[in-house]
Chains A and B, each alone.
Chain A
Amino acid sequence: DQQVKQNSPSLSVQEGRISILNCDYTNSMFDYFLWYKKYPAEGPTFLISISSIKDKNEDGRFTVFLNKSAKHLSLHIVPSQPGDSAVYFCAASDRGRDDKIIFGKGTRLHILP
């Protein structure tokens, strides 16, 4: 039962270009979406989030876009830097229902020199 799907296990992007990571979800009750970044041997760290009342949230080089009708969100990183190489997890929650965050399987981003 994959409520949050990241269909690309990996992505390679040239340094300086835009990285676009995609995520789809199935539960229409999700009202809060998050992206986490994970380096090897570390726990996930929060990157950026978006509420379902918005369609875009920007924080420096990171922008998250939400398309509720398509149940799709994406994370844009511009410009991509070597330190962005990591696994990115999309996550979602139904804040009105419970306390848990549902994660996708992650996408490994490689930034190429």
Chain B
Amino acid sequence: EPEVTQTPSHQVTQMGQEVILRCVPISNHLYFYWYRQILGQKVEFLVSFYNNEISEKSEIFDDQFSVERPDGSNFTLKIRSTKLEDSAMYFCASRLGGGSIGEKLFFGSGTQLSVL
């Protein structure tokens, strides 16, 4: 079964450093998402991306965050200057499009980001 792939599985960084989290969505999918989960808390929506542009973003997704689909297969989340509170599990998700959005939303296994 096709799957969403995320790398790395763990990322440790110093506060103030830039990080790039990488995702390879399912190949024929058209809609892409980033969510995050701080330990013990809910899974939070960050951003959705369609047709090479952001379609929706949350309040969390401020100027320090950006997303890119540089080559038609990868979908990246960049945090420009990490803060301690950015420590979380980051999930990439994708869907084909059309029909009920949730039924076709596939998640990756996540990248655990630890900011020291």
Contact = CB atoms under 8 A, between A and B. Distances in A.
Interface of A: 2, 4, 32, 34, 36, 41-46, 49, 51, 89, 91, 93, 95, 98-106
A93 B110 contact: no
Contacts of A89: 42-43
Interface in B4-60: 4, 31, 33, 35, 40-45, 48, 50, 55-56, 58
B101 A32 contact: yes
A99 B43 contact: no
B79 interface: no
Contact of A106 (B42, B55, B109): B42
B102 A103 contact: no
Interface in B47-97: 48, 50, 55-56, 58, 91, 93
